[in-house]
Chain A
């Protein structure tokens, strides 16, 4: 699939970036704002169309088997083994679709921005370019480049257009946290890329028969090809116990930590989450939507695409904590996920700031993603290390749930931020105690708010329930006690959602807002309508996307779906 002679995935990335540049070229005088806005939304809508086409093109061709499709592979730095290598499977297809859908909606919401419109819109498109890049990268260096690229526009969006009170602190915290986290990953990537060349040729040959990705790989050369690394890097153990004079186990452990911390910050996994309430709270509405809708998914995607396949042995090998008890990294992640679910819900319940409440709801919801990832990591690790299939079916269900939850959270959190931002834009306060009884003045807003809140709460019949149920079902078999405890979080999800509805809509009307216009604007309705439609469709008939995800997940966990 090509567009004007360019491969479609490359086109998505380049066109987003060039679209952003084009906006900068447009005149920035106030008279041209409308032009700039509509150009921006037009570009984003075209990109959304292409993303949808990509999704369905993939679904049409590869979905049944879950293998990578729409691949493009052009050598870039052969010496380093870096290629311009893009491609998608079911998991990335879902994420590209999500990015494509959310970008124009975020731009539509940014119509409320009055200053430096060109730059604002350009940054959003640049962010989209980075996200497309991450979700379609099949080369580790490409992945890292785009992964870091998303950071820059988001930093400026928060720093320049955030709420004046706290944007400095929030943007710095966000930037330093994220950048600091990925330093270790950069080192680990360099190490891994080079060290696959150290895998002895006989091991490569023995794996070649079973691993299609190794077909063109020349033994002894460095590679950043993610599939190649997934096959070879875990095999490094067998090459002998020592690597660069250090125990291989230790090297792997350190590399693992580099990845783990980087992605844990992004997801965010408790306790790496404290940048998130600040960044989400202070960011402009569009920034919050993309931050929650897309950016957090980069972290989860990194876990699924890189950390699980690269480190199967590290995930499952037991280690001792201070000699008191032994555990493994999968269990540690599950434990942190449980804490994220529970404490995220508690912290959300304790908020009076509406945007922070929604921000903490992300910690809560992404906890389920992390839980699903932990189950998948354990099952994948056991499969690779000792061929164990005890938890395979559970892991397939949990990982399906995790990926679907990523998609669902993208919809519902973007919707929630849209609504929270809308009310903030009209009242200029995020303090929920000053709201009250808005339903009478904003009946349509009220209905939409409740609908979206319920999707976020995980009401059956809407999208969030399906994914949460799948994660709970999958993790119950593996991490029974942790799942049981995380139910407290699910309970308090209800608590903070109802608190939000209560504070905004219910109660006697606060007369302070008597003469304010509180009803949702048509533009905002247009922006949230697609999200609501998807929430309902995915809740009622989730298989339109889950079957695509399932094929790739099953393939990864060693149970290819029969066509």
Chain B
């Protein structure tokens, strides 16, 4: 097991992908994260910190800060390079998809069977291995600048490394359990990072909310995994959905050269496939029995997914095992990818530092949810043919939840003023697109949209972080000027101009300014994330503006030149095809998604207008900029790189029959389709090019953008002017602004009752009241009985005479001398007695003499 073997064997190499970031996590946590203590008033701790009056607080040392960054970056770069190598190795395989890179080790012994953990690189993994490391690397670079003045930057890098490592584990996992491991570790990381500024109430509450909401889904998902494992004895993706299941007992296996089963062996050396090979050979002479006997070969070629679709579920009759497992697993994604009704955690997750938002919203967390259901898609589809209008329960579930969420979240996004909240709801909405696409059989479009969305959403988040950073910079500028005028010293103002000089941590400072406004007379309740405070930023932050514009237009689906257009168009094309054939779910998805896409374009235009166009609505916005130097560079570079992908990522999936562009980009067929479709045993049907949905896409995107710019850009808002939408929507706007009051609803029907049940019912009433009450009554009865006997005794003894009491008294006097009241002596007595007994007993058995 030397390293060379890992590097030289393409099957083993995927193991190393997550190792870099994971090692970085351990190294930073255990070795390089060294803090020094400084007074809480020090500039190094973000200036006057009202929470820690007169205390010394830990700040990461300068050297350890730099080393931690280097370690973290090395991990990410290593993961990226190894991923590239693995992608090249994999795509070089003859007939990739049929053959895959995989290897596994025994992880658990369970009875006579075992459970194997391993890695798998198939076409779906490959596209994730292209997207995830790039996005992660960009986020890491960005964090160097964004967190440059945070007193806990080393901890940040360790946690975000773990985050990246967990995502990569999830991506290369060859089984559902390992996927779940990465999934949950990411949950922990998001919890830790959303609550990174743990002094803030809003931050730790958001962290708890994120963890708890996703855990609701995760425990259900765990049941799904357990159920799947119970039914099949394996959780390996290939064994479940690609390779043929082992023959049932007594079933005919007419296959001698198993077409499907044996092929796995070409690459797989694992025990699982060996066992399978055996099963095929053994099956040769099996007796002709069982329900599948007549079907012969076909029956054997069934994957586990298909066989489960024919098995009734263990509970909730009327649904197949595959259906119930599917719904359990999809609920896991509903939580992780923040679909209705478990969407509430994602907008609050904005409390974390912005790179974390990018990590959660683009590269990792929520993408993982969609990735998991794309990964398990054949299981959900088993027993149905969405392209022929036959839907299974999981498919319908996805279609309905996805379509509803897409529209629902888009409506909320329209009325948000926080620059990151708009993006948060747009993420929920876009994930709904993917979910809905999967529900109507759009395996390829969903995967495509997952990739393009990751690029432009990572870009948008980081650009919005730059905007916030710039606004805070402006705030400090204004703040310093106020000082300057008041105190008569101009130095402070100059200091604020110099990027390196202002040591204020952002976000934290802002929140404290809000919470402790009284503590600092200059701090007014300024919110650097409120778009109403912005405007005109295109002038002071041109690079951010251009890149944000590219990301936003890609999100809106600006036709032809943005990635978002191509992927969204594919989803609509898929839905349209079903609609024309009269399938209900397709029609629902098409209508809902078309509306959602329109709103997407609208709120994107609104966001762009409010943030960058027009004139600055506050002093802070006028002075907003990223400054110069490392901070500015490391924050801008990722934006530019991601902007490139936000445009070009779409060209890998252009329909070959698309006028002009199809022949340019897809001369030899749709490259994305050709690659990813090989993940499945049977490639999904190719959809003929149809101009109608494309025209719809054009109209929706352009119409939405036009309306948005017309409302917000033609006559830009001035300071203090209310949102024109309020006039149009009336009280509905308030409902939207308050996110349909879901937080309040959940607080009332879930959070408070569960707190009440925990404290008052389970603990105080049942444990303290009923059970202990019963026991105490029992004790009291015992004491009464004892008292009664005592009374009887004294009466009896009195009756007998004084002789016996006399005797007792004497005995008592004697025993008093032993009873010193010192526990040591009692214990000593007990031990001595025990020892004597022990020795006597040992001698009697002869243990001490010899062992037998």
Which residues of A does B touch, CB under 8 Å?
2, 5-7, 10, 14, 17, 20-21, 24, 28, 72-76, 84, 116, 119, 122-123, 126, 152, 156, 160, 173, 176-177, 271, 273-274, 277, 343, 346-351, 360, 392-394, 396-397, 400, 437, 439-441, 443, 447, 450, 454, 459-461, 465-466, 469-470, 472-473, 476-477, 480-481, 483-484, 487, 490-492, 494-495, 498, 502, 505-509, 511, 514, 541-543, 546-547, 550-551, 553-554, 557, 559, 561-562
Q: Which of B49-57, B288-296, B373-381, B727-735 contacts A (4 or more CB under 8 A)?
A: B49-57
Q: Taking CB as reference atom, which chain B residue is nearest A6?
A: B851
- The answer to whether A509 touches B841, judged by C-beta atoms less than 8 angstroms apart, is no
Q: Taking CB as reference atom, which chain B residue is nearest A447?
A: B29
**Chain A residues positioned under 8 Å from B192 (CB to CB):** 450
The answer to whether residues A76 and B841 also contact, given A459-B185, A550-B111 and a CB cut-off of 8 A, is yes
B183, B314, B851, most chain A CB atoms within 10 A? B851
**Chain A residues positioned under 8 Å from B845 (CB to CB):** 74-76, 84
* Contact residue among B180, B212, B828 (Cβ-Cβ distance under 8 Å from A494): B212
Q: Taking CB as reference atom, which chain A residue is nearest B314?
A: A480
- The answer to whether B110 touches A550, judged by C-beta atoms less than 8 angstroms apart, is yes
Q: Taking CB as reference atom, which chain A residue is nearest B850?
A: A5
A28, A360, A491, most chain B CB atoms within 10 A? A491
**Chain B residues positioned under 8 Å from A454 (CB to CB):** 188
CB distance from A386 to the nearest CB of B (A): 20
- The answer to whether A271 touches B771, judged by C-beta atoms less than 8 angstroms apart, is yes
CB distance from A236 to the nearest CB of B (A): 29
Q: Taking CB as reference atom, which chain A residue is nearest B315?
A: A480
B710 within 8 Å of A (CB atoms)? no
- Docked Cα-Cα span, A469 to B763, in Å, equals 27
B219 within 8 Å of A (CB atoms)? yes
- The answer to whether A350 touches B763, judged by C-beta atoms less than 8 angstroms apart, is yes
The answer to whether residues A346 and B847 also contact, given A394-B230, A469-B177 and a CB cut-off of 8 A, is no
**Chain A residues positioned under 8 Å from B842 (CB to CB):** 14
Interface size on B, residues (CB 8 A): 84
**Chain A residues positioned under 8 Å from B130 (CB to CB):** none
Q: Which residues B227-245 have CB closer than 8 A to chain A?
A: 227, 229-230
- The answer to whether B844 touches A76, judged by C-beta atoms less than 8 angstroms apart, is yes
CB distance from B163 to the nearest CB of A (A): 13
- The answer to whether B767 touches A347, judged by C-beta atoms less than 8 angstroms apart, is yes
* Contact residue among A14, A483, A509, A554 (Cβ-Cβ distance under 8 Å from B52): A509
**Chain B residues positioned under 8 Å from A397 (CB to CB):** 110-111
**Chain A residues positioned under 8 Å from B828 (CB to CB):** 24
B759 within 8 Å of A (CB atoms)? yes
- The answer to whether B111 touches A542, judged by C-beta atoms less than 8 angstroms apart, is no
* Contact residue among A351, A437, A491, A541 (Cβ-Cβ distance under 8 Å from B219): A491
- Docked Cα-Cα span, A271 to B754, in Å, equals 20
B814 within 8 Å of A (CB atoms)? no
* Contact residue among B227, B757, B763, B844 (Cβ-Cβ distance under 8 Å from A476): B227
Question: Can you name 5 extra interface pairs (CB under 8 A) apart from A152-B830, A274-B768, A514-B55?
Answer: A7-B847, A274-B775, A440-B199, A459-B184, A514-B54
The answer to whether residues A460 and B55 also contact, given A21-B835, A346-B763 and a CB cut-off of 8 A, is no
Mask, B214-227, CB within 8 Å of A = 1, is 01100110110111
- The answer to whether B758 touches A350, judged by C-beta atoms less than 8 angstroms apart, is yes
State the 8 A-B residue pairs at the shortest beta-carbon distance, nearest first: A350-B758, A350-B759, A346-B762, A460-B181, A7-B851, A349-B758, A396-B111, A473-B226
- The answer to whether B230 touches A477, judged by C-beta atoms less than 8 angstroms apart, is yes
- The answer to whether B215 touches A494, judged by C-beta atoms less than 8 angstroms apart, is yes
**Chain B residues positioned under 8 Å from A437 (CB to CB):** 51, 198-199
Q: Taking CB as reference atom, which chain B residue is nearest A484?
A: B223
- The answer to whether B184 touches A498, judged by C-beta atoms less than 8 angstroms apart, is no
**Chain A residues positioned under 8 Å from B775 (CB to CB):** 173, 177, 274
**Chain B residues positioned under 8 Å from A400 (CB to CB):** 110
- The answer to whether B222 touches A490, judged by C-beta atoms less than 8 angstroms apart, is yes
CB distance from A242 to the nearest CB of B (A): 34
B195 within 8 Å of A (CB atoms)? yes
CB distance from A69 to the nearest CB of B (A): 14
- The answer to whether B199 touches A502, judged by C-beta atoms less than 8 angstroms apart, is no
The answer to whether residues A546 and B185 also contact, given A437-B198, A498-B212 and a CB cut-off of 8 A, is no
B800 within 8 Å of A (CB atoms)? no
Mask, B654-687, CB within 8 Å of A = 1, is 0000000000000000000000000000000000
- Docked Cα-Cα span, A274 to B765, in Å, equals 12
- Docked Cα-Cα span, A173 to B830, in Å, equals 22
**Chain B residues positioned under 8 Å from A465 (CB to CB):** 181, 184
Q: Taking CB as reference atom, which chain B residue is nearest A473?
A: B226
B807 within 8 Å of A (CB atoms)? no
B110, B177, B195, most chain A CB atoms within 10 A? B110
Q: Which of B101-109, B136-144, B606-614, B716-724 contacts A (4 or more CB under 8 A)?
A: B101-109
- The answer to whether A546 touches B755, judged by C-beta atoms less than 8 angstroms apart, is no
The answer to whether residues A543 and B315 also contact, given A350-B759, A561-B112 and a CB cut-off of 8 A, is no
- The answer to whether A6 touches B852, judged by C-beta atoms less than 8 angstroms apart, is no
**Chain A residues positioned under 8 Å from B847 (CB to CB):** 6-7, 10, 72, 74, 84
- The answer to whether A506 touches B204, judged by C-beta atoms less than 8 angstroms apart, is yes
Q: Which residues B626-640 have CB closer than 8 A to chain A?
A: none
- The answer to whether B767 touches A274, judged by C-beta atoms less than 8 angstroms apart, is yes
CB distance from B657 to the nearest CB of A (A): 45
* Contact residue among B29, B184, B772, B846 (Cβ-Cβ distance under 8 Å from A461): B184
* Contact residue among B181, B212, B230, B766 (Cβ-Cβ distance under 8 Å from A495): B212
* Contact residue among A396, A491, A498 (Cβ-Cβ distance under 8 Å from B208): A498
CB distance from B442 to the nearest CB of A (A): 30
- The answer to whether B107 touches A505, judged by C-beta atoms less than 8 angstroms apart, is no
**Chain A residues positioned under 8 Å from B522 (CB to CB):** none
- The answer to whether A343 touches B841, judged by C-beta atoms less than 8 angstroms apart, is no
CB distance from A525 to the nearest CB of B (A): 12
CB distance from A249 to the nearest CB of B (A): 28
Q: Which residues B106-139 have CB closer than 8 A to chain A?
A: 106-113
- The answer to whether B222 touches A72, judged by C-beta atoms less than 8 angstroms apart, is no
Mask, B718-758, CB within 8 Å of A = 1, is 00000000000000000000000000000000000011011
* 18 A-B pairs in the complex with CB atoms less than 8 angstroms apart: A6-B848, A73-B852, A346-B763, A347-B758, A347-B766, A349-B759, A459-B185, A470-B110, A472-B226, A498-B211, A506-B204, A508-B199, A509-B51, A509-B199, A550-B108, A551-B109, A554-B111, A562-B112
CB distance from B841 to the nearest CB of A (A): 7
Mask, B804-836, CB within 8 Å of A = 1, is 000000000000000000011001101100110
**Chain B residues positioned under 8 Å from A481 (CB to CB):** 315
**Chain B residues positioned under 8 Å from A347 (CB to CB):** 758, 762-763, 766-767
**Chain B residues positioned under 8 Å from A542 (CB to CB):** 107-108
Q: Taking CB as reference atom, which chain A residue is nearest B764?
A: A350
**Chain A residues positioned under 8 Å from B771 (CB to CB):** 271, 274
B838 within 8 Å of A (CB atoms)? yes
B58 within 8 Å of A (CB atoms)? yes
**Chain B residues positioned under 8 Å from A73 (CB to CB):** 852
- The answer to whether A543 touches B53, judged by C-beta atoms less than 8 angstroms apart, is no
Q: Taking CB as reference atom, which chain B residue is nearest A486?
A: B219
- Docked Cα-Cα span, A475 to B844, in Å, equals 47
- The answer to whether B767 touches A440, judged by C-beta atoms less than 8 angstroms apart, is no
- Docked Cα-Cα span, A334 to B440, in Å, equals 41
CB distance from A155 to the nearest CB of B (A): 11
- The answer to whether B226 touches A469, judged by C-beta atoms less than 8 angstroms apart, is yes
**Chain B residues positioned under 8 Å from A439 (CB to CB):** 198
- The answer to whether A460 touches B204, judged by C-beta atoms less than 8 angstroms apart, is no
- The answer to whether A156 touches B823, judged by C-beta atoms less than 8 angstroms apart, is yes
The answer to whether residues A487 and B198 also contact, given A116-B824, A346-B758, A472-B226 and a CB cut-off of 8 A, is no
* Contact residue among B108, B220, B762 (Cβ-Cβ distance under 8 Å from A350): B762
The answer to whether residues A506 and B758 also contact, given A119-B827, A460-B181, A543-B106 and a CB cut-off of 8 A, is no
- The answer to whether B181 touches A461, judged by C-beta atoms less than 8 angstroms apart, is yes
- Docked Cα-Cα span, A498 to B107, in Å, equals 30
